[in-house]
Structures are given as structure tokens and as C-alpha cells.
Amino acid sequence: MGIKHMRNFLLLLIFSAFSTGQLSGQVWPGDVNNNGVVNGVDLLYLGTVFGSSGPLRAEEDTNWEAQPIIEAWGSFFPNGVNHAFADCNGDGTVDEDDIDEAIKNNLGQTHDGSGLGDFNNGIPGFDIPVEFSPSLSFDEGDLMLKIGLLLGNETLEVEDFYGLALQLSYTSSFIDEPSFDFALTEDSWVDGPEEEHSVVLFEDDEDKGKMELAITLTDPTQSRTGRGRIGAFSIVMEDIIVGLIQDTFSIQIDSIVLINSEISKTAIVPDTISLILSEDLLILSNEASSTIQTPIVQTYPNPNPGQFLISADESIENIRVFNVLGQEVPINAHQTSSRELMVEIPQVSPGTYIITGQIAGTRFTEKVIINR
Ligand SMILES: [Ca+2]
Ligand SMILES: [Ca+2]
């Protein structure tokens, strides 16, 4: 046999091995990348093969147990996992049913495997950042707290967006059972609220204070380039805020990753936010009847031993400081210039404090760490 024939023979052997399904295995419905855990990253894998089809599984079943594959599909994810794993319910097609019946139902489930390596948190100042942008607004008569999710900025645009997955945690001293929602916004550069070219997976575990969010496009020939708002978390404030004097609420991204249509991962810098809410704020926003945005202020040094400067583009008013329990802390504050304030906290223990104030009538909150 000549070298050329030998090569063709070997190729044929390899092809046979793939096409007869010898690499088939057992699908845990929802664990699309077969790494041992069901999470938002599985939606991203599924999104890259959305609409594709292949052989049926032995049984159409999404129960959390090993489901045998009779015949593997003819194609693979970059990590070597067969595309049959994206057909979570085993009906031969990758579509929304696989998300609704398997990924959503089995979210958080684990089997053999570590689940490690799904996420890729970036380095501040180097990688593309994600940012929270809080606002209060009236939406069909309801007072809503909205926390916009922004990706990229003026210097770091996202060039090849196909999917984004995040895991978040939140703490609140006043919301017993907060119930969040997430939706793509009208001004989203990824897709609109109708989700014509995308799928959004959002789960809020109120007991644990954990949220899981994943957004994927559904046309593998498409990707997006852009920066700015993708969507927004929202929570109805009406029942929460009545009778509330002052309280804090914080939300942070624990893990995040961005992928392109080839499942090549990009590190993203996570964000954290602390908000102070009060009945005052409700009255204020009622009067203004519009969005309250957070203006840009700087506190320095931060951390500090109990004395720091706050500066902004305009004069700063009504400075107040609260501990993480939402209790107000006495301060001495005096103006060092028209746009700068020296704040001293005379009696304070080390920890995180929240500063609120107003700039040109707009409220802001800032976090400062006292380390003496
Ligand atoms: Ca997985
Ligand atoms: Ca299916």
C-alpha cells in the first residue's frame, strides 16, 4: 500500500469510528458541555448549534439521569463533546424545548465532573468590563428598581459576541424575598426584548440570594459587535419600600464569561454594586417622575482610616454615611472647594460604609472601606 493509500485508509478508519457512533456516551440532560454541572454556560454551547438536528436518542427524556446515546451526531463541540449532548430532550433537534425542559429544570444539578473552567473573570483595567447601572423608574404605574447590565466601554468594545453567562449573588437587609427579573432592553445592542435572534436564561434563587443569567444568539452564522447596554435586571419596589426608612442592597457578579460562535472564551471584568433605598427616595422619584441615574463621584483615599475626600463635577450636597446594616453614622464634613468635600468619621470601626449624597439634585451612592 502506497503512502497516499495508507493515509486514505487511516482517514476512512477515523471517519468510520466517528460516524458509527463509537464515541457515543450518556447524556445528562442539560449538561451540554458534559463537564459535570448544568449552568448558563451550557446554554451558550447549545446556542452555537441552535436549530441543528441529528439521530434520536434511545428515549426522549429529560430526567436527571444518564441517558444513553444510540448513535452519535456527525459533529462535535471544540472540547470534543458530541453535538448530541445539545439535544437535551433526545428528540433529534436542538431548540427551545431543550432549554425549557432540560437546562432550566436541571439547572445546578451535578454528576461526575468538576464543572471547572466554565467561567473566565477578567483583570480590571485590562479586560472588557461589565457594569451595573442602577435607576429607579415608573413602569406602567409600578416603581421599579432597574439595574442595567452594560458590556464594554469606549476603549474596550466587544468584537465578536455570541453569548454571555453570569452567576450573581445579592444580599439585602430589607428584602425578605426579592424577586428579580431580567430582560433585554429596547436599546440593547445584542437583541430586543422580543428575543427574535436570542435566548435568555434567567433564574433567581431567592432562598440562596443567587442568580444565574445566560444570553445566547441563536443563529450560528451571526455574531455581534458593540458596547453598552445589553439588558436590565428589574424588581418591583412598591411593597418593599413602603415604611422603609433606610436600607442597603448589594449585588455582585461572582463568575462571568463571554464566548464567540466558536466557543472561544473572552475574560470579562465583573462588577459589584451597593444601593441605598429609602422611602425618601420613593418620594423624590415620585416628584421627579423620571429616572434617577448615579452621577460620577470619586472618593479617595479608599481604603482610608476614617478621613477621605469626595469630589465630583458639580457641588456635592446632603452627604450621609451608613454602615452595611443601613444605620447612619455621624460624620464631620466640610467643603475644601466648590466640588470637593472632606469627610471625617470620628467614631467608627473598620469595615465597608456606604456614602450617599446629591449632585445637582441627583442622588448617588459610593462605597468606602475604613481600615484603621
Ligand atoms: Ca455543563
Ligand atoms: Ca431536542
- Taking only the tens place, the pLDDT of each residue in 289-306 is 333 344 678 889 989 999
Ligand nearest to the CA of 165: 1
Ligand nearest to the CA of 28: 1
Which cell goes with 44? 451558550
Ligand nearest to the CA of 31: 1
Cα 259 from Cα 261, distance rounded (Å): 7
CA 41 to ligand 1 centroid distance, Å:
6
Average pLDDT of the chain? 84
CA 337 to ligand 2 centroid distance, Å:
64
Q: What pLDDT is attached to residue 284?
A: 33
With cut-offs at 50, 70 and 90, classify the pLDDT of residue 106. Answer: very high
Equal CATH topology for 128-288 and 297-370:
yes
CA 29 to ligand 1 centroid distance, Å:
10
DSSP count for the chain of H helices, then E strands: 5, 23
Ligand nearest to the CA of 94: 2
Partners of 367 in the β-ladder: 354
With cut-offs at 50, 70 and 90, classify the pLDDT of residue 32. Answer: very high
Q: Has this prediction a pTM greater than 0.75?
A: no
Burial letters for 199-236: b for 16+ Cβ neighbours within 10 Å, e otherwise?
Answer: bbbbbbeeeeeebbbbbbbbeeeebbeebbbbbbbbbb
Q: What pLDDT is attached to residue 63?
A: 97
How is the chain split into domains, by residue range? 3-103, 128-288, 297-370
* Amino acid type, 153: N
Nearest to 277, CA basis, from 251, 252, 250, 248: 248
The CATH number of the structural domain formed by 297-370 is 2.60.40.1220
The CATH number of the structural domain formed by 128-288 is 2.60.40.680
